[in-house]
Amino acid sequence: MRFREFIGLVESDLYRHTGNVSIPLVLRNIMFTPGFKYSFWMRLCTYLSQQTFSKYSIYWVSAIMLAHYRDKYGIDIPFTTQIGRGLYIGHSGGIVVGAESIGNNFSISQGVTIGQNNRGEKKGRPTIGNNVYVGPGAIVIGNIKIGDNVAIGANSVVTKDIPDNAVVVGVPGRVISYRGAEGYLLNPT
């Protein structure tokens, strides 16, 4: 990852939170917005871990900061997870993400688990498309594909592939409409 890509990711995450981008906003949100603070340190860890000059020096400072905020805010998204532009973490607490990859404009709420299934035909981790909203308490598990423009309702349990533009609710998750995530995404990039 190049430095300009890192800056672009941070700017897109900030835009999702504030609807604007500026240096004072970056500083204010790094200090006072748990979701943005976590995404900033996660992006910085990703960037520094790929740089030869910092891999054995300042990278460790960012990794320690990320671990600190993981424990403080209850957000566990590994910096090795491939996440596109515009990550929005609405509220902290009980967020665990173990996805293969996540597209652009991903919104995640508190109490969400996105993780691996260790057995059966869906063994593996989810892949999540662009413009996806995951409501509070939702669970997305197994080697499944969540399409683009999907809204997953609160406390839903998703264990099967979800097509583009779907709205999913319930246990087990079922598609109730094809109106997508429009209206659920704050400041998409």
Catalytic machinery residues:
91
DSSP 153: -
Collect all residues with Cβ–Cβ distance below 8 Å to 86 and sequence separation of at least 6: 12, 13, 15, 16, 104, 105, 106, 188, 189
Helix (H, G, I), strand (E, B) or coil at 121: coil
The helix (run of H) or strand (run of E) holding residue 47 is helix 34-49
Q: Report whether 178 contacts 149 (CB < 8 A).
A: no
Neighbouring CB atoms inside 10 A of 49's CB total 16
